[in-house]
């Protein structure tokens, strides 16, 4: 399945006790339709309040499904902020077959809060975008991103490859996109937070270079509600 959702009202993708998650909503809708226990596997877990334009998810069943009817029924059961875009029969593993993921972080340039830009983080129009671009250029390639993971992250390899990273403006919007073979817990938000501190002149770029890929806790974590899973690429 390809799912899109506004995650701002949820505790993230993963099912949790005493919390409303995207996974629990999707599995509940499937179980109502198929009348069997269903476990979904997503391409990756999005954090609380993080949204997705394109989230691949798979589930297994021995039933013969009319996928068009299942899609229609699910969208009738799901809340308005979660939608199934497509369902196909496939042997692709949503998580382990993924090769590249792209995240988008939305910002807008203004000195005052603008109600029609509530999907983006407000930043000062005086922020130094050129410095921010110089910082993100350093991220391309294969590096140890241990300094950009969360302090309570799982014990896993911190080596990741960043294929593409860009920062561009469209009107008042300022978009940050990053594509990699995978991301550590809160890695993208920590990169965005650090990028913003560089643009505000609160972090010296020359000094930052010396410990960029070391076990350095910058503690600059951008808010989750403006982060979006944009795309996932498979073989």
Mark whether 58 and 160 lie in a shared domain.
no
| pLDDT value at residue 65 | 92
Task: Yes or no: say if 25 and 6 are a contact pair by the CB < 8 Å rule.
Answer: no
- At residue 67 the predicted structure's pLDDT band, cuts being 50, 70 and 90, is very high
Higher per-residue confidence, 141 vs 153: 141
The tens digit of pLDDT for each residue in 36-59 reads: 999 999 999 899 999 999 999 999
Same domain, yes or no: 220 and 113: yes
Q: Which domain does 41 fall in, by range?
A: 2-86
- At residue 16's C-alpha, the angle toward residues 179 and 187, to 5°, is 25
Lowest model confidence (mean pLDDT) among 9-13, 103-107, 155-159: 155-159
Among residues 62, 86, 110, which one ends one of the domains?
Answer: 86
Total structural domains within the chain: 2
Contact 158, 123 (CB under 8 A): no
Please report whether residue 91 resides in a domain.
Answer: no
The per-residue pLDDT for 218 is 58
Q: In whole angstroms, what is the distance from residue 215 CA to residue 144 CA?
A: 9
Cα(212)–Cα(54) distance, rounded to whole angstroms? 30
Residues tagged active-site: 47
Within a domain: residue 93?
A: no
Domain match, 116 and 25 both: no
* Span 18-33, pLDDT tens digits: 899 999 999 999 999 9
Query: Residue 206's pLDDT is what?
Result: 86
* Residue 207: CATH number of its domain: 3.30.70.660
Q: Is the pLDDT of residue 216 over 90?
A: no
String of DSSP letters for 120-172: SEEE-TTS-HHHHHHHHHTT-EEEE-GGGS-TT--S---EEEEEEEEEEEETT
pLDDT band at 207 (very low <50, low <70, confident <90, very high): confident
Residue 92 within any structural domain of the chain: no
Per-residue pLDDT tens digits for 88-129 = 999 999 999 999 999 999 999 999 999 999 999 999 999 999
User: Mean pLDDT across the stretch 138-164?
Assistant: 87
pTM score: 0.94
Question: Quick check: 58 and 91 in contact, CB under 8 A?
Answer: no
Last residue in a domain, options 52, 86, 120: 86
For residues 120 and 64, membership in a common domain is answered with no
pLDDT at 152: 67
């Amino acid at each position: 399945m390809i799912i899109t959702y506004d995650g701002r009202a949820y505790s993230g993708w993963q099912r949790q006790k005493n919390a409303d998650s995207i996974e629990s909503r999707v599995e509940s809708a499937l179980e109502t339709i198929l009348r069997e226990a269903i476990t979904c596997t997503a391409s990756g877990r999005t954090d609380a309040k993080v949204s997705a334009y394109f989230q691949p998810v798979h589930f297994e069943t021995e039933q013969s499904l009319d996928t068009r009817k299942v899609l229609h029924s699910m969208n009738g059961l799901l809340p308005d902020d979660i939608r199934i875009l497509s369902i196909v029969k496939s042997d692709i593993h949503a998580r382990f077959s993924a090769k590249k993921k792209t995240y988008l972080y939305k910002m807008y340039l203004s000195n005052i809060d603008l109600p029609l830009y509530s999907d983006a983080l407000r930043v000062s129009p005086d922020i130094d975008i050129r410095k921010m671009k110089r910082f993100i250029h350093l991220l391309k390639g294969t590096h140890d991103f241990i300094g950009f993971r969360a302090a309570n992250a799982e014990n896993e390899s911190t080596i990741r490859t960043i294929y593409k990273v860009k920062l561009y403006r469209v009107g008042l919007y300022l978009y940050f996109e990053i594509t990699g073979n995978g991301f550590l817990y809160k890695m993208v938000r920590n990169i965005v937070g650090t990028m913003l501190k560089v643009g505000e002149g609160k972090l010296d770029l020359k000094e930052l270079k010396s410990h960029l890929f070391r076990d350095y806790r910058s503690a600059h974590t951008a808010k989750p509600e403006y982060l979006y899973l944009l795309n996932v690429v498979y073989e």
